[in-house]
Structure 1
């Protein structure tokens, strides 16, 4: 599940939303269908584009000219997730279920601000549009290597949802910025804009999909797994290796591994022992992973490598004095 928030895409978000609304109407124009895809939110399923623009553009009380007026939330299920929806609900049903899911994602968006009075999507001004297709851009490798042209439609099922959400809440009094990631470092600033954790929001959207649709996501299919592999520290990589072994188990141990991988990605644990102490509160058997010979060898080799690194660092510092 790919969930992304941007404050400037296709059209600037510091002025009218008209440009972005018009861009997201492209499939209705291209297909020239008698059954257009309407905008929707928690109240209605047949919202017209002019209503979207009017509502967003008039919900800007006390915002400066250079302030962002709205944000774009992209909710894009993977091919495997789309197949799961189609297999379980059919073509039409899958789209309806994805819309319901989008509303629940916006509930989580609201709650992520941790602001009094902002409890669900009903407290926001937002409008969503389901799109059936995606198109190649200059950033795609297929365009770069010349196998596809920019603007060419991508193959397969590409259904996804785009959401325009106002910077201000439904009362037009509270500023809400998902780009504020101070997380309490500046208390006054966080109080004004909310403490939005974008990583936690994405993780929550992933877990929500699994729960709502009984989707059996493997550990290596989680956002946290990919994040650790790409950006994780050496210690996080070691913790992930332990979790990969734990995920081979069944039942509660597998579920626990999927829960812990989010905490590893968020840097909660300093060491493997810290992680296993936490897991041991719920499942003593999970601790047996460390007793496996392969992990004893792995950890011994890791410790040796770390000692060599520290010796080299100490020698280097000694020579520089």
Structure 2
């Protein structure tokens, strides 16, 4: 699961939402399908593009010209996750399930601000759209290597969700910026805009998916695992290594992944703290550490083993004489 929030430095979000809404309508224009992919949110699933644009552009009270007016949230399930959904629900029902999932993700988006009165997707102004294709850009390595051309459609199932969320809440009174992660450095600023933990938000999207759809996520496919190996300290990587080695033991994937999230959050000051915190899984960690890297050989009869060695030695000597 890949979740990203586009900031104002890389998107034209200081003016009207017209250009972005028009861009996200591209599949409806290109494919010319009879059943258009309309916009959705917590209140409906057949919202027209002009309604999206009008609502967003009218929800900018007391925002300066240089302020971001909206943000783009990209939710991209992995190929493995999409395959799982298709096998469970079928291609047609996947759309509805992803809409349901997107609303729950936006619930977490709202709660992440830790602002009074902002507790669910209903407190936000947001509009989502399901897209079915992706195209190669000049940044893709396949284009840089000359293997693909810019604008070519990517292979495989590329279904994903694009969500435009207003900088202001649904009442047009409260400013909300997911780019504010001051973490107490400026308390007044945090109280005004809300303190948003983007890592926690990305992590929550994965947890929601697993619980909502009953998806068994392998540790190596978890966001926490990738985050620790990319950004973690040596201690966190050591802790994650122990979790990885114990993941084949008796512990469930859900339990292991929960501990991985704790490791990613820096909850444990030592390996001992992590093992102590897990309680019943202590034995699993110990077994993982003591487990031999190669399977033990089966018991053999010492007499038969000695006889085999004698014959092997005799054969080697005979070969030497034959030369």
- Report the TM-score when normalising by structure 1: 0.87
Q: Which segments of structure 1 move beyond 3 Å, counting only runs of 4 or more?
A: 8-11
Deviation at 1:265, TM superposition (A): 1.4
Instruction: Output the CA distance in 2 between the equivalents of 1:242 and 1:284.
Output: 11
Partner of 2:213: 213
Q: Is the 2:14–2:69 contact (alpha carbons within 8 Å) kept by the matching residues of 1?
A: yes
Partner of 1:42: 42
Instruction: Output the CA distance in 2 between the equivalents of 1:190 and 1:11.
Output: 23
Partner of 2:265: 266
Q: Is the 2:86–2:94 contact (alpha carbons within 8 Å) kept by the matching residues of 1?
A: yes
Partner of 1:95: 95
For 1:160-216, what per-residue CA distance to the aligned partner results, in whole angstroms no more than 9, with x for missing partners? 000000000011000000001112332111111111111011111101100111111
Instruction: Output the CA distance in 1 between the equivalents of 2:232 and 2:284.
Output: 22
Deviation at 1:293, TM superposition (A): 6.6
| Larger-Rg structure | 2
Partner of 1:228: 228
Alignment of 1:1-321 (within 5 A): 1-8=1-8, 11-252=11-252, 254-280=253-279, 282-289=280-287, 292=290
Deviation at 1:112, TM superposition (A): 0.7
Partner of 2:315: none
Deviation at 1:34, TM superposition (A): 2.1
Instruction: Output the CA distance in 1 between the equivalents of 2:152 and 2:8.
Output: 23
SS of 1:224's partner is helix
Q: CA RMSD in A?
A: 1.7
- Report the TM-score when normalising by structure 2: 0.87
SS of 1:199's partner is helix
Deviation at 1:286, TM superposition (A): 3.9
Q: Is the 1:106–1:120 contact (alpha carbons within 8 Å) kept by the matching residues of 2?
A: yes
Residue segments in structure 2 that go unaligned for 5+ positions in a row: 294-323
Instruction: Output the CA distance in 2 between the equivalents of 1:240 and 1:284.
Output: 15
